[in-house]
Homo-oligomer: A and B are copies of this chain.
Amino acid sequence: MSDLRKDPIVGRWVIIAKNRAKRPNELNDGLLERASGFCPFCEGHETHTPGEIVAYRQAGTPRDAPGWRVRVVPNKFPALEIEGDLNKRGQGLYDLMNGVGAHEVIIESPRHLRSTAELDDATLGDVFWIYRERLLDLKRDTRLLHGMVFKNVGAAAGASLEHIHSQLIVTPIVPISVVEEIEGSHAFYRYRGRCVFCDMIEQELAFEQRIVFDSPGFVAFCPFAARFPFETWIVPTTHASHYETLSRGGADELARVIRRVMQKIEAALDRPAYNYIIHTAPFDTQALDHYHWHIEIIPRVTKTAGFEWGTGFYINPVPPEEAATFMRDLELPAQTAQEITPTATG
């Protein structure tokens, strides 16, 4: 089992994986299965993944067999494991606990697609709905405090498998970035009495120049202090702190918005590597007036260098107003996702 260790200076937690000891020159192996000719996520290859936790599938088809649209399985090389005791303890100055948690993979299509831009709206609605289902299930485990859904597309974004998927890591502590967002938005709320995200939505819609796309339920914009070129946030227009309060209709609308945004990003940057991350409140908090769940999309077209690691200070060569204008002005083909040919076959 891995360790969860806390940095004693800034309070950042790190997962120190064990039982993976290998020679240094093999460091990049074994974290995830590598892309190769054979794809364990394609339909028909269900026995090459750990057994499914849940799937949306044709009535009457059995588990771990074809007939599914979206399928959730445990990560074959989990960073955290669901069995065991936290055993919180100290070592002199330091704090640590056992690496208890969940690490699941959401396989978003039986077809060997690559990116969210290639999915059809209905399946993508299922994906956002199944995220909610997994979060609701895992938050019943009182050892666990926070769930982070994220997607890595392309090797430069940390992906090791090409087939369209996202991941869920559920941790027994609240990650430091989430703590910082919640404390920061709480400070704003104490001072102004309003949610900083609600204020941002209002200002962005009035200003218009950083808007990429909007619908009644969601606004997609390039943030004022974007760290990365074409960084785009999707924020629900109705205040909610927890992603799992999303309705089925909301999941479908979110699917339409994010797919449109991803099509624009892919057209602008020629199918870049990217990450998206769902930022949501911890499991053990009630609905918060000061925090607002949202999705951050990060195209990975610039390298992160020493300056960024040292300072948490980013240099972004593309002003967000220019990125948003470029994307707003892009004409997308009328073609629908259903007509898009898969990029490869498994």
Residues on A lying within 8 angstroms of B by beta carbon are 3, 5-18, 20-21, 24-25, 27-28, 30-31, 79, 91-94, 148, 150-152, 155-159, 167, 169, 171, 175-178, 180-181, 184-185, 188, 196-197, 199-200, 203, 207, 223-227, 229-230, 268-270, 275-279, 296, 298, 301-320, 322-323, 326
Contact = CB atoms under 8 A, between A and B. Distances in A.
B196 A8 contact: yes
Contacts of A16: 225-226, 316, 319-320
B315 A157 contact: no
A126 to B, nearest CB: 20
A9 B196 contact: yes
A185 B318 CA distance: 35
Contacts of A320: 16
Contacts of A278: 310
Contacts of A150: 305-307, 309-310
A181 B9 contact: yes
16 contacts: A9-B188, A10-B177, A13-B313, A14-B315, A17-B315, A17-B318, A21-B322, A24-B326, A148-B307, A148-B313, A150-B305, A150-B306, A177-B310, A275-B309, A278-B310, A296-B309
B275 A317 contact: no
B269 A25 contact: yes
Contacts of A24: 229-230, 268-270, 301, 318, 323, 326
Contacts of A301: 24, 27-28
Contacts of A305: 150, 152, 157-159, 275
Given A24-B326, A326-B24, A14 B227 contact: yes
Given A176-B312, A279-B310, A225 B13 contact: yes
Given A7-B223, A224-B94, A304-B158, A312 B12 contact: yes
Given A14-B314, A278-B310, 11 more contacts: A9-B184, A9-B196, A14-B313, A17-B317, A21-B322, A24-B318, A24-B323, A28-B301, A150-B307, A175-B311, A279-B310
The count of identical subunits is 2
B20 A203 contact: no
Contacts of A167: 306-307
B302 A304 contact: no
Contacts of A311: 148, 169, 171, 175-178
